[in-house]
């Protein structure tokens, strides 16, 4: 690790501790040449995920889009942003653990619906109505009936 002050390539680790709930390691280092201290972070390198959209186009996975979709479904509902971020963490972790580097929006939508259903049923119905693009009131009622029968 090069020193940011003098560019010397040797340093020693003074302190090491987990950061960001264990997702990162924070290291305090001391340059062996100039004796100045600096901080480095070690993170897991994640493989890029590609999302296959309904029209067949592909784009990189965007966590912000995922959270924004859930925020719209949970508008004026008693669901915190922390809960939605936890759902996004779970989904992203699950996607990263798959061997596939490409995932369809259908798969992601199903994952969101299964998580959001446990948090708020109204938000679930809102998300499902957009995600499944209900064509008429009957398909909407079928989803509501399924939700009620699962209780």
The mean pLDDT values, 10 residues at a time, for the chain of 151 residues are: 94 92 89 97 84 93 93 93 93 86 91 92 85 72 77 64
Is residue 136 in a domain?
A: yes
Pair 85, 136 in one domain: yes
Is residue 4 in a domain?
A: no
Q: What is the pLDDT of residue 97?
A: 85
Structural domain boundaries, residue 84: 50-149
Is residue 6 in a domain?
A: no
Pair 25, 63 in one domain: no
38: number of Cβ within 10 Å: 16
Is residue 5 in a domain?
A: no
Q: Which residues have C-beta within 8 Å of that of residue 1, sequence separation ≥ 6?
A: 9, 11, 29, 40
């Amino acid at each position: 690790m090069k020193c940011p002050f003098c560019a010397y390539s040797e340093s020693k680790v003074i302190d090491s501790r987990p950061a960001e709930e264990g997702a990162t390691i924070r290291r305090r280092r001391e340059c062996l040449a100039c004796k100045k201290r600096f901080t480095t972070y070690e993170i897991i390198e994640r493989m890029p995920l590609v999302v296959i959209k309904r029209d067949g186009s592909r784009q990189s996975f965007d966590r912000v889009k995922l959270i924004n979709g859930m925020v719209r479904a949970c508008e004026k509902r008693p669901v915190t942003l922390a809960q939605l971020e936890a759902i996004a963490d779970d989904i992203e972790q699950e996607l990263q653990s798959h061997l596939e580097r490409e995932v369809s929006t259908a798969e992601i939508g199903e994952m969101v619906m299964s998580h959001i259903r446990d948090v708020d049923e109204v938000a679930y119905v809102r998300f499902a109505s957009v995600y499944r693009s209900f064509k008429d009131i009957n398909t909407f009622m079928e989803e509501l009936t399924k939700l009620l029968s699962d209780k």
